[in-house]
Every structure is written in structure tokens, then in C-alpha cells.
């Protein structure tokens, strides 16, 4: 019998084409519908307000997020202090990071060994303290000292924007700068909100230097200043905003609350968020914000009954690059 080979090499597919072709059911189906809806929203003059919880910067979300920023799809970002700093840590120390192949087999002794080698573990990725954290501390401490001497006060991200835009780190770049979302944001002075920044490595370092009397506590502004900036941002926004929440926590709840703050507390009539999606692996059954379904936000005046709402119950490190790849048609 003659064998006939019917196999042909498949044509290369874009992320969008692949998702449209293969993602139809269950969480995959929700991912496809979310991606398609967001893509249409953004290509019809809408923009995205992105919130980042978890360790998305260490997961290198900058590879796709930087492109989203540079193509003008992102109106603003709210993130944890960890996501703010870990993007620039990676930018200056990528080759010094270490990958743990099988984290389930790590013993207590293995963890102690990492501690003694000054490697800070985030799941399977270890951030080198000296090359990443202390390197950035050296540069940003000079800015904190200068602000303290001048009795100036700025928001946490503004110091990192100044550091990146000054070019003083370029000679120590250890990763492709095109993959840094914070660098892309700094280039266009993207509105950034970092509630709870004190709960971060640089926030801890700042508190330590304040305790030592090296810098003034007033040099870095906090959450109330971020919220007043957020009020100004939302008041001045003229384009519809899609709210894409990655994870939950303070990075997500802080910015979404600006709408009921304006409508209910300041009694100003402002539109609700125009579109909403969340990516989470949390359950609603424990009463936490991260697992709360989108419909719950209607009761708080954050979303309306007609607001398009999507809830992808999955791992954001897998899902978010696919959504961005879909929008960018990579």
C-alpha cells in the first residue's frame, strides 16, 4: 500500500488568529471573548486603565505591556510597589537572576542557602539583592536626599521616572530596554498610581533611611496624594476607559473606587467605567476582593448593569500576554 503524507507545514498564525481558531470553550472561551471585546474597544478610540497585582513584572509582562504603552492603548496604570520596582530591577540585573527548575523539591536548607547568597525568591525566580536592589537603592537614595534637602515632596514613581529619563542607568542595562514597561511609561509620563508603596522593597528601604535620619519622611508622598491625582485624572479624561484588573488587592480596588468617590462623596456626575475585565485565580467564597465577581461592583457604583463585564478565572502570567498579543495582533 502506498503511503500518502497529507501533512503540510501550517502557515504561521498570529496570536489573534490562534486564539480565534482554538479558544472556544470554558476559560479559553472567556479569554477569546474578552480579548476580542477589548480589541474592538481600544480600536474604537477607547483606552485601557490597567491594574497589576502579583509579581507580573518579574514574570516579564513588560515584553508585551511596553508595546501596549508605546502604541497608545494604555491611559494609566495602578500597580503594587513590587511591580513598580521589579521592572527596573530586572532591567539592570537580568543576567544575575537565577531560575529554580523544581520549586516543589526545595528543602528548608535550600531556602537558607538562597538567603545566604542574597537571592530573593519569587516562586521560581530569584532576584539578586546586590546587583538589582542595592544597585537601584544607590541611585534613588541620591534623589531622596536631594528632595529632603530642598524640602521637596514627590510620588514614589516620579523618582523612578526621573532615574530612567536621566539616562544614568543606560550603561548598566542588562536586559532589552524595549521590554521594560516602566521605561515605556516614563518616556511618555504615563499616569501611574502606586497605592501602598510602603509595602515594597524600596518602600522598606525608604522607611529605614528615614529612621536613620538620612532622608525626610515628607520626601515621598503617599496614598492620599495618589487618590487626589486619580480624581484629577478621571475628571479630565475624555475617552471611554476599559478597566482591566489583573489579580485584585489594593492595586485594583484603589483606582476603581474613584468613580463612587466622585459620584457619591463629591456629588459630581461622572460616567462609570466603560468596560471591565478581571483575571484571577481567587474564589469568591472567602469574601476577598480578588475573587469578587464583576457583578458585585454594580452594588458599589463602580460599574453599571450595561457595562461589558468579563471574568477570566486563570493564571494572569499566561492570560495577560495572550490578551496583549491579541490586541497588538502579534
HSE-CB for 293 with a 13 A CA cutoff: 4
**The predicted structure's pLDDT at residue 289:** 78
**Per-residue pLDDT tens for 201-214?**
999 999 999 999 99
Mean pLDDT of the 9-18 span:
84
Q: Which helix (H) or strand (E) holds 302?
A: none
Mean pLDDT of the 46-65 span:
97
Say if residue 1's pLDDT is above 70: no
Ranges of each domain in the chain: 15-328
- Which three cell numbers, joined as nine digits, stand for 313? 478565572
Say if residue 8's pLDDT is above 90: no
The lowest-confidence range among 10-19, 103-112, 119-128, 218-227 is: 10-19
**The predicted structure's pLDDT at residue 3:** 46
Q: Identify whether the C-beta of residue 191 lies closer than 8 Å to the C-beta of residue 79.
A: no
Say if residue 86's pLDDT is above 70: yes
Q: Identify whether the C-beta of residue 164 lies closer than 8 Å to the C-beta of residue 86.
A: no
Say if residue 12's pLDDT is above 90: no
**The predicted structure's pLDDT at residue 284:** 81
Mean pLDDT of the 210-231 span:
98
- Class in CATH terms, 15-328: alpha beta
Amino acid at each position: 500500500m502506498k503511503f500518502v503524507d497529507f501533512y503540510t507545514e501550517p502557515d504561521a498564525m498570529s496570536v489573534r488568529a490562534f486564539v480565534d481558531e482554538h479558544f472556544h470553550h470554558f476559560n479559553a472561551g472567556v479569554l477569546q471573548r474578552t480579548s476580542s471585546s477589548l480589541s474592538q474597544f481600544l480600536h474604537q478610540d477607547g483606552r485601557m486603565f490597567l491594574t497589576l497585582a502579583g509579581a507580573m513584572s518579574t514574570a516579564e509582562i513588560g515584553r508585551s505591556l511596553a508595546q501596549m504603552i508605546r502604541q497608545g492603548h494604555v491611559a494609566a496604570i495602578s500597580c503594587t510597589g513590587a511591580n513598580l520596582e521589579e521592572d527596573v530591577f530586572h532591567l539592570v540585573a537580568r543576567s544575575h537572576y537565577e531560575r529554580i527548575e523544581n520549586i516543589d523539591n526545595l528543602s528548608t536548607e535550600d531556602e537558607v542557602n538562597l538567603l545566604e547568597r542574597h537571592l530573593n525568591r519569587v516562586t521560581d525566580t530569584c532576584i539578586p539583592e546586590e546587583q538589582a536592589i542595592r544597585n537601584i537603592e544607590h541611585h534613588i537614595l541620591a534623589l531622596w536626599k536631594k528632595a529632603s534637602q530642598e524640602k521637596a515632596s514627590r510620588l514614589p514613581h516620579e523618582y523612578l521616572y526621573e532615574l530612567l529619563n536621566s539616562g544614568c542607568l543606560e550603561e548598566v542595562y542588562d536586559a532589552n530596554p524595549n521590554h521594560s514597561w516602566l521605561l515605556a511609561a516614563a518616556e511618555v509620563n504615563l499616569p501611574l498610581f502606586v497605592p501602598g508603596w510602603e509595602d515594597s522593597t524600596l518602600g522598606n528601604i525608604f522607611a529605614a533611611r528615614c529612621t536613620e535620619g538620612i532622608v525626610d519622611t515628607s520626601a515621598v508622598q503617599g496614598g492620599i496624594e495618589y487618590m487626589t491625582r486619580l480624581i484629577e485624572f478621571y475628571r479630565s479624561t475624555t475617552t471611554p476607559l476599559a478597566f482591566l484588573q489583573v489579580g485584585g488587592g489594593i492595586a485594583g480596588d484603589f483606582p476603581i473606587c474613584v468613580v463612587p468617590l466622585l459620584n457619591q462623596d463629591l456629588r459630581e456626575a461622572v460616567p462609570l467605567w466603560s468596560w471591565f475585565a478581571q483575571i484571577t485565580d481567587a474564589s469568591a467564597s472567602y469574601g476577598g476582593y480578588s475573587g469578587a465577581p464583576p457583578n458585585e461592583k454594580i452594588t458599589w457604583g463602580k460599574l453599571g448593569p450595561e457595562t461589558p463585564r468579563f471574568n477570566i478565572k486563570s493564571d494572569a502570567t499566561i492570560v495577560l500576554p495572550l490578551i496583549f498579543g491579541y490586541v497588538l495582533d502579534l
